[in-house]
Structure 1
């Protein structure tokens, strides 16, 4: 074997050894990174488990509500202290609070530095008493400005207030948008609203202080026009019907309102005997 061939073979062997050494070094680096990452992850998890904890009620912040206290949130949310924030499910907690408190919206945030639980609320307010039919019979409760049903428990969980004067009879979930529209205009009808009544078929009746019973008919796209006509009649009719004793007003056709007048009394027959014949 020539000297040139010998040197060439040695160079190839040297390159092979260098490649092997670099491969081994890369494997060592990967192993070091894996061990360090695993150690850091375990340490971080342990710190979170021990440090990301709500231990005091003051670490629970309740924002946005004028009528719900921290104690009510803890009770309705079934929050047991110390509370591991990692194990808390914000969506489920928000659902529990919405079901038990007089609130329209709930947002739950877990904050790290310092560890605390932040709960933002938008209050619900009962604007009317309500009655609905259930499988067990009639149930009494309340509705908010959007027509949503509120249980007596939800109402009592809010700030003490006088019971609303408006009564909603025959509440149904499918009719909630129409109820919301009526309640939004209850102070603009020209006369205090006393009662909202839904028949089983959805037909809508109102009762106001000045006009008595008003039949608004179906809850269709003409409801807004019927309410406009009602406002007009509330300003024009009371002075003209004081002595008529209306039975009701029918606005189911808003272009042709009908006044339900009591029937005229039938004249009594004249019981005076005829004069005697001569």
Structure 2
């Protein structure tokens, strides 16, 4: 058994003094840390409430990530009462508001202190087709409070655009954007698109994209007969069925190689409702 040396009262007293002093310094350090953090927070809030930290108009809002959308259109959709303190702007609410607009897929808003401004980073829904003369947008036009008959660079009864998932995109969102030319917007046209077709549209568009056949117009006015305008002429497909439609596209692709035997200018339409035995209707046969 080891022998423990007794601790003298003087040594115990010194140790107690050291512990008290250490606790005192810890308390002082904690108090100073609290005052420093509180001062920084208060100072930051005071600075941001000063006139130099006020956003006076939409010119202090930077829009990033737009390609088709006009930045001024995005700014006009931000419900901010100017002038507004930078710290008082509810960025979460602004993000939720912008996400509710059909053309916008995602958005993140950052505050910037030097110089004071808001940065809005967008991810757009990309339009893939032009909607022409259909009833798809009656409800949406009312939602956006815009007329269904809109002026556009297209010589058509245009009611908007649509993305690959069937989301309607208002035409006015893409107007007045000097960075986007008509050539950059989609040229594929859809006639007779309805909301009930949205799920089918996603599959149909993917099939057309994967096919070597060039399609310039989709006429979906008749539910029992999907009509396309292709490089070999107008084609009838019957009701849209993904498996049958894939086979019909293959038939069109095969017929493209036979254009030397087929004069598209004489063809009124090609009936592919039976893809194995396509029926060619010529203008001559109607006279």
Q: TM-score, normalised by structure 2?
A: 0.62
Unpaired runs of 5+ in structure 1? 1-6, 266-278
- Spell out the pairing of 1:259-274 with structure 2 (5 A cutoff): 259=279
Residue aligned with 1:236, SS: coil
Residue aligned with 2:111, SS: strand
Q: Deviations over 1:173-208 (max 9, x none)?
A: 21232343366479x635x6333317658x744244
The offset of 1:122, in angstroms, is: 6.1
* Alpha-carbon distance in structure 2 between the residues aligned to 1:106 and 1:17: 59
2:170 counterpart residue number: 151
Kept after mapping to 1: 8 A contact 2:69/2:173:
no
1:269 counterpart residue number: none
Is the aligned partner of 1:195 residue 2:213? no
Cα 1:194–1:218 shift into 2, 3 Å: closer
1:62 counterpart residue number: 63
- Spell out the pairing of 1:105-184 with structure 2 (5 A cutoff): 106-121=107-122, 124-125=126-127, 127-130=129-132, 131-132=134-135, 141-144=159-162, 146=164, 147-154=166-173, 156=175, 166-171=189-194, 172-181=197-206, 184=209
CA-based RMSD = 4.5
Residue aligned with 2:237, SS: strand
Residue aligned with 2:81, SS: coil
* Alpha-carbon distance in structure 2 between the residues aligned to 1:103 and 1:29: 50
Cα 1:99–1:168 shift into 2, 3 Å: farther
* Alpha-carbon distance in structure 2 between the residues aligned to 1:257 and 1:98: 49
Cα 1:168–1:109 shift into 2, 3 Å: farther
* Alpha-carbon distance in structure 1 between the residues aligned to 2:265 and 2:117: 67
Unpaired runs of 5+ in structure 2? 1-6, 142-147, 149-157
Is the aligned partner of 1:258 residue 2:278? yes
Q: Deviations over 1:71-103 (max 9, x none)?
A: 323212233333434344556535544655856
- Count of matched residue positions in the alignment of Structure 1 and Structure 2: 252
1:72 counterpart residue number: 73
* Alpha-carbon distance in structure 2 between the residues aligned to 1:238 and 1:217: 30
The offset of 1:149, in angstroms, is: 1.6
Q: TM-score, normalised by structure 1?
A: 0.64
